Amino acid sequence: MKEIKVGVIGCGYWGPNLIRNLNENHHTSLTHVCDLDRERAARIKLRYPHVISITDYRDLLKDSTLDAVAVATPVSTHYRLVREALEAGKHVLVEKPFTSSTREAERLVALARKKGLVLLVDHTFIYTGAVRDIKTRVVTGELGDLFYFDSVRVNLGLFQRDVNVVWDLAPHDLSIMDYLVGEDPVSVAATGTAHTPGGFEDVAYMTLKFKGSLIAHFHVNWMSPVKIRKIILGGSRKMLVFDDLDPGEKVKIYDKGISVSKPSRNSIYQSLVQYRIGDMYAPAISNIEALKGEIEHFAECIMNGATPLTDGEAGLRVVRILEAANRSLKKDGAKVRL
Amino acid sequence: MKEIKVGVIGCGYWGPNLIRNLNENHHTSLTHVCDLDRERAARIKLRYPHVISITDYRDLLKDSTLDAVAVATPVSTHYRLVREALEAGKHVLVEKPFTSSTREAERLVALARKKGLVLLVDHTFIYTGAVRDIKTRVVTGELGDLFYFDSVRVNLGLFQRDVNVVWDLAPHDLSIMDYLVGEDPVSVAATGTAHTPGGFEDVAYMTLKFKGSLIAHFHVNWMSPVKIRKIILGGSRKMLVFDDLDPGEKVKIYDKGISVSKPSRNSIYQSLVQYRIGDMYAPAISNIEALKGEIEHFAECIMNGATPLTDGEAGLRVVRILEAANRSLKKDGAKVRL
Amino acid sequence: MKEIKVGVIGCGYWGPNLIRNLNENHHTSLTHVCDLDRERAARIKLRYPHVISITDYRDLLKDSTLDAVAVATPVSTHYRLVREALEAGKHVLVEKPFTSSTREAERLVALARKKGLVLLVDHTFIYTGAVRDIKTRVVTGELGDLFYFDSVRVNLGLFQRDVNVVWDLAPHDLSIMDYLVGEDPVSVAATGTAHTPGGFEDVAYMTLKFKGSLIAHFHVNWMSPVKIRKIILGGSRKMLVFDDLDPGEKVKIYDKGISVSKPSRNSIYQSLVQYRIGDMYAPAISNIEALKGEIEHFAECIMNGATPLTDGEAGLRVVRILEAANRSLKKDGAKVRL
Amino acid sequence: MKEIKVGVIGCGYWGPNLIRNLNENHHTSLTHVCDLDRERAARIKLRYPHVISITDYRDLLKDSTLDAVAVATPVSTHYRLVREALEAGKHVLVEKPFTSSTREAERLVALARKKGLVLLVDHTFIYTGAVRDIKTRVVTGELGDLFYFDSVRVNLGLFQRDVNVVWDLAPHDLSIMDYLVGEDPVSVAATGTAHTPGGFEDVAYMTLKFKGSLIAHFHVNWMSPVKIRKIILGGSRKMLVFDDLDPGEKVKIYDKGISVSKPSRNSIYQSLVQYRIGDMYAPAISNIEALKGEIEHFAECIMNGATPLTDGEAGLRVVRILEAANRSLKKDGAKVRL
């Protein structure tokens, strides 16, 4: 028996994936879909005839039988929709980036807490087998101390009309970084350029610094002729490459690194660096669709009153970095403290 | 008949390549090799028994029959050695980076000019078939306006004891960028971290800005588990990937891009972006060893009194950026104007 | 308005793809699904509630409003189902391999002709952008005379219970070969081994010879640790690689080859071979789902009384080779004339 | 002190590699080089001025101070040269393929044994870190029972004037197969075609069968637009890919396979196959030049009177298969028993 009745607001690019998974999950029951574009919602109804299709989300929030909503609309609308949904007593799953500003995010986090409702930000990558596998290796110390997190996410992209390439693409990698590193950066610097008249940045680079010697860097690009989705994670013991486009070996762990001899009295400023070139290892990674596991997790959190892995706080941490990145972009790459 | 007598100072990592090519070129005659390490020079002599092996470069400069010297010593010694060689009336080929500072580079450029001697900086990549091919495409306008130059040069590297990873690896890509773009950047920002006690930066990122919307970015890294040598060059008409590790298809030109419709009165801030996904093309690239062509070019410049493609000015432009990068690194990534 | 009413028999591995495409096509209307497994047909109905779900195909054939059926059952049942469907006056789309024997195939071809019905064998690859692109290059002479067709289709596969690896995997490549080469082979030799007790061959190699010097070879394998789907097509002018697993550049055309000088009197048996290493070119390939185009083609053939690109004759040609391959396998690789 | 004086006969394609390694090995002393082409030998002398350069190999064999010769001439001359060298009391290292016929190979094996001289066939791959690593995995049972050995060695090749593509390229893979499998095949079948007038086969496929269910297959091709050097080795426990062109991960071991349940009484002909998809593992492989280790091994065998890993018997086993392959090619692919 399905317990949790869910409606989806926003049937555009990502919405159909939410709809499909909410429909197939055993704990959730998809009851409504909502889109300003009547045509779009109608197309959904064609495939899911049992679903009520509406254009005004307020009708949906009014329905007292509804337990939860999933919000997959443009980011500028998230704050209002999530707020009203929480106020209407609905649990909420919301697309990333969570909100347009830190302030909005903080308010929603507080509101959800006050209402005792589940608020899950759709940081989908956290629910992939690959990122889960990597997390275990970080936590168990297999990689040693983290040295750097280098991410490249580029392709000839969908130019967004409302946000720049940092807000469009970096949330994926920031959420992965946030989850794996488990530590807040102390500063952000971002630089980039726009190549369309009056447009947003379409190529950008962002650097995060942390307390120790850890550095994180992100290359996001809508203007690349090739598609790259690659993260290199360097540790003191092992290093790791996560190539999301490699169907067979998404995660490769390299037993490579350096060992540094203690400098002797005579070479006080020069330590002796030695290289270690060992084996490579690619674990079998679960292929289960991430969103499927995420929806299951959403349902379980609702049923058990648990806090989601990617809760409002996680969404807030990512938005805080994005906001600072935008400030840095405006100041031509100057460092912004967090 | 060989005309140009050349001696080589420095028989370490790169020296043997210079030695082999100087020995095999029809216009040059390798007569001396010089290294502080007597053992090293002796090993060279074993393979080239006709060559005079010495340990003091001054003996070499004194030899009036010698026409030219090639300097392949640590960068900190370049200024003194090149200066003395020029003063002794020798043409000079010197390793990259040219010098340790802009000031040194400027003096050597002036000295060579005054003396009327050939001064070639060993920006080897400029003599590869791949970079030559790309240059033609830039010059003919095939790529259109340049949008960005993105370079990644990473591997588990040779940690240097005297310079950081920027000075060690970026000269390759800066020289390629300088040659292809043909324009001076207006600012540099560089950030990085060191992971060995008292050591130099081993991971670094550098951004160059130009007058228009062109941006250049460099990722250099001695701590990567995988080897990457890749440049993506985005243009308004076409885009290009130069993968130096792809033996078969080093240069790929993508007929991909965007076209922007003129914004109408009603959508003044929103232009319409359309994607163009066309064919890819990988030209046959000459496999001739770059250094072979460079030595030939050096000989021809000496014989004809011509200015090398990679002259002291080119070396100076690269050093100027490196110097500014170091300043930026010390100021934690702050932008340094050039 | 949808004109052609279609029922699908067999809702297993491939059936759902047919169902989805028949449902979405504007000329076809999916009215029935049929599967012996009541559960399976019910699952389909869940997604397509307007469809009538049955377990006995005869009920389906009796329905006089039905125009066509698609058969996606095990190959051993094809003959009976297709025959009865044709006899009931239905147009037929049938999975590959067409039938279990040449004899069966011939009868169905004759029956369809007699009845004036469309019979399309689901050689899906023929409707891909890649194979269409290659066909054009063969037909226009861009590749020159065909020298060889080399196909590798291997992975850790779905062991079939009713056919060996040749009947399971080779139909894909045989249909591509048949379409591209446009000529019948004169002999088949196949060899392989089985590694499960009482099982069918799971690794096999097959060679086809043609009248001239063209040779075609197929490696099919259910026991490979890696997935490969690659065809190399060598011609006298150009050569081509079709890598179905390369998402970006499925088809690469190489301007490579040899040119042979006429042997002189003195070297009567030795011709002078010279190599040509030119550019590589990867055309933009349409990404439209092949099955979508195939269903459209099926509908058009029914509406216009046209003969499908992959008609019963094409299916028969492939079955003829498969049947001969089985004979050769039983004779330990001996050549079988066609 | 160098003990073993060696002369090299044949300074063509491969000779210079032997020369370089014999010159640098601490146990061997390169004293003579011999080539019918006076120019060629002279070029060698330029680089190794201490070496005596001759054109008649008989002068070399007469020199009683010489301990060993290395023969790197066309295969048709191997028998005569090796025989005369052995008769002159010289240890011999000879290029692959060992001889033109089984008969010649048998005679040389017998002669070397009678004379008590070391006879090493240059099956270079056996001395690579990769093949050594794989051998260990086969011997320790890590791979389980061997199921198949699949080899592809193709590129736009050097057309040979004296042998077909099987004799040119397959010796590499046959020697690897012989070493790894450690068992003689019972039959050979080979098929191929020639695409130059009066030329030898330039595309060929060869199948070897063994006593059990092991099958070995070889694709050799001078007419391929792409270079592939790949061996897949399937075992009952694990499977392995050896990609000689992958600089980073030459050997990959896959913990993949199938497990077969015992058939129950009711399903006597149908066993239940289950898939195992586990981790992948790429061991660090030594990069030492294979020929360097081989020359060292040659020297040690001479000094200790030991039998080389790749002795005349190994050479003979490979020639026996090549000879049978040629017979099969002439009989249009018919199986030839060994």
pLDDT tens, residue by residue, A216-226: 999 999 999 99
- Determine the average pLDDT of the residues in B146-152: 98
Find the radius of gyration of the CA atoms of chain C: 22
pLDDT tens, residue by residue, A113-142: 999 999 999 999 999 999 999 999 999 999
Checking if the pLDDT of D276 tops 90, the result is no
Cα separation, D148 vs D236, in Å, equals 10
Query: What is the structure's pLDDT at B268?
Result: 45
Same domain, C14 and C161: no
Same domain, D115 and D151: no
Q: Which residue has the higher pLDDT, A145 or A265?
A: A145
Number of neighbours of residue C110 by Cβ within 10 angstroms: 12
| 3-class secondary structure per residue, C113-124 | HHHCCCEEECCH
Q: Are strands B28-34 and C251-261 parallel, antiparallel or unpaired?
A: unpaired
Q: How far does Cα D139 stand from its chain's mean position?
A: 19
The angle formed by the CA atoms of residues A9, A13 and A19, to the nearest 5 degrees, is 50
Cα separation, D57 vs D85, in Å, equals 9
Quote the percentage of chain B above a pLDDT of 70. Answer: 96
Q: How many B×C Cβ pairs under 8 Å?
A: 28
Instruction: List, in order, residues 6 or more apart from D329 with CB less than 8 Å away.
Output: D164, D166, D190, D191, D192, D201, D204
**ipTM > 0.85 (yes/no):** yes
Kindly state whether residue A314 falls inside one of the protein's structural domains: no
Kindly state whether residue C316 falls inside one of the protein's structural domains: no
Looking at the structure of chain C, the number of domains it has is: 2
pLDDT tens, residue by residue, D255-273: 998 887 765 555 444 556 7
Q: Specify burial of residue C308 (Cβ count, 10 A radius: 0-12, 13-18, 19+).
A: buried
B255 CB neighbours in chain C (<8 A) are: 284
From B220, B201, B153, select the one nearest B329 (Cα to Cα).
Answer: B201
- Give me the CATH number covering residue A40: 3.40.50.720
- Determine the average pLDDT of the residues in A244-268: 80
Same domain, C68 and C139: no
Cα separation, B189 vs C280, in Å, equals 38
Task: Say if A282 is an interface residue toward chain D (CB within 8 Å).
Answer: yes
Query: What is the structure's pLDDT at B3?
Result: 84
- For residue B2, what are its two tokens? 């060989």
Kindly report the nearest CA distance between residue C325 and chain D, in angstroms.
14
Which 3 state secondary structure label does DSSP give C29? strand
HSE-up of D201 (CA within 13 Å, CB side)? Answer: 27
C247 CB neighbours in chain A (<8 A) are: 227, 245
- Determine the average pLDDT of the residues in A72-78: 96
Query: What is the structure's pLDDT at A96?
Result: 96
CB B119 within 8 A of CB B92: yes
Cα separation, C92 vs B267, in Å, equals 52
CB B144 within 8 A of CB B238: yes
Query: What is the structure's pLDDT at B45?
Result: 84
pLDDT tens, residue by residue, B218-262: 999 999 999 999 999 999 999 999 999 998 899 999 999 888 776
- For residue B4, what are its two tokens? 């140009």
Same domain, C160 and C204: yes
Kindly state whether residue C203 falls inside one of the protein's structural domains: yes
Query: What is the structure's pLDDT at A262?
Result: 63
Q: Which segments of B48-153 does DSSP mark as H helices, in order?
A: 57-62, 78-87, 102-115, 129-139
Same domain, B142 and B265: yes
- Determine the average pLDDT of the residues in D85-89: 98
pLDDT tens, residue by residue, B270-309: 556 788 889 999 999 998 999 999 999 999 999 999 999 9
pTM: 0.94
Kindly state whether residue A46 falls inside one of the protein's structural domains: yes
Nearest to B279 among C255, C278, C284 (CB): C284
From C273, C297, C312, select the one nearest C25 (Cα to Cα).
Answer: C297
Same domain, C47 and C171: no
Out of A272-276, B2-6, D113-117, D315-319, pick the least confident: A272-276
Same domain, C330 and C197: yes
Query: What is the structure's pLDDT at C158?
Result: 74
Same domain, C266 and C170: yes
Residue D144 lies in domain: 126-287+321-337
Kindly state whether residue D316 falls inside one of the protein's structural domains: no
The strand ranges marked E within C65-214 are: 68-71, 91-94, 119-121, 146-156, 187-193, 203-209
3-state helix, strand, coil in chain A (%, to 5): 35, 30, 35
Instruction: List, in order, residues 6 or more apart from C249 with CB less than 8 Å away.
Output: B280, C243, C282
B226 CB neighbours in chain D (<8 A) are: 248
- For residue A57, what are its two tokens? 């989300």
Please state the φ and ψ torsions of residue D209, each to the nearest 5 degrees. Answer: -110, 150
User: Which residues of chain C have a pLDDT value below 50?
Assistant: 1, 267-269
Kindly state whether residue D315 falls inside one of the protein's structural domains: no
Query: What is the structure's pLDDT at C323?
Result: 98
pLDDT tens, residue by residue, D102-157: 999 999 999 999 999 999 999 999 999 999 999 999 999 999 999 999 999 999 98
Q: Any bridge partners for residue C217, and if so which?
A: C150, C207
Cα separation, B149 vs B138, in Å, equals 12
The verdict on a CB contact (< 8 Å) between B196 and A271 is yes
Cα separation, D337 vs D209, in Å, equals 9
Query: What is the structure's pLDDT at C1?
Result: 47
The verdict on a CB contact (< 8 Å) between C47 and A47 is yes
The verdict on a CB contact (< 8 Å) between B156 and A277 is yes
Kindly state whether residue A107 falls inside one of the protein's structural domains: yes
- For residue B107, what are its two tokens? 């003096």
Query: What is the structure's pLDDT at A263?
Result: 56
Task: Say if D49 is an interface residue toward chain C (CB within 8 Å).
Answer: no
Query: What is the structure's pLDDT at D264?
Result: 55
pLDDT bracket for residue D220 (50, 70, 90): very high
The verdict on a CB contact (< 8 Å) between D47 and B47 is yes
A49 CB neighbours in chain C (<8 A) are: 49-50
Residue D240: C-alpha distances to residues D127, D133, D156, D212, D228 (Å): 19, 11, 26, 20, 16
The angle formed by the CA atoms of residues D293, D294 and D297, to the nearest 5 degrees, is 90
Same domain, C206 and C252: yes
D279 CB neighbours in chain A (<8 A) are: 281-284
Nearest to D207 among C154, C333, C335 (CB): C333
Residue D12: C-alpha distances to residues A324, B13, C244, D157 (Å): 65, 29, 41, 17
Find the radius of gyration of the CA atoms of chain B: 22
- For residue C197, what are its two tokens? 């007790």
- For residue A119, what are its two tokens? 């608020």
Nearest chain D residue to A256 by CA distance is: D284
Q: A: neighbours with 3+ CB pairs under 8 Å?
A: B, C, D
Same domain, D131 and D261: yes
- Determine the average pLDDT of the residues in A206-228: 96
Kindly state whether residue A316 falls inside one of the protein's structural domains: no
Q: Are strands B223-235 and B146-156 parallel, antiparallel or unpaired?
A: antiparallel
Same domain, C54 and C166: no
> Looking at beta carbons, which pairs linking B101-108 to residues 24 or more positions away fall under 8 Å?
B101/B319, B101/B323, B102/B316, B102/B319, B102/B320, B102/B323, B104/B78, B104/B79, B104/B319, B105/B312, B105/B315, B105/B316, B105/B319, B105/B320, B106/B316, B107/B79, B107/B83, B108/B79, B108/B82, B108/B83, B108/B312
Same domain, C141 and C200: yes
Checking if the pLDDT of D46 tops 90, the result is no
- Give me the CATH number covering residue B156: 3.30.360.10
- For residue C147, what are its two tokens? 């020298």
Q: How many A×C Cβ pairs under 8 Å?
A: 12
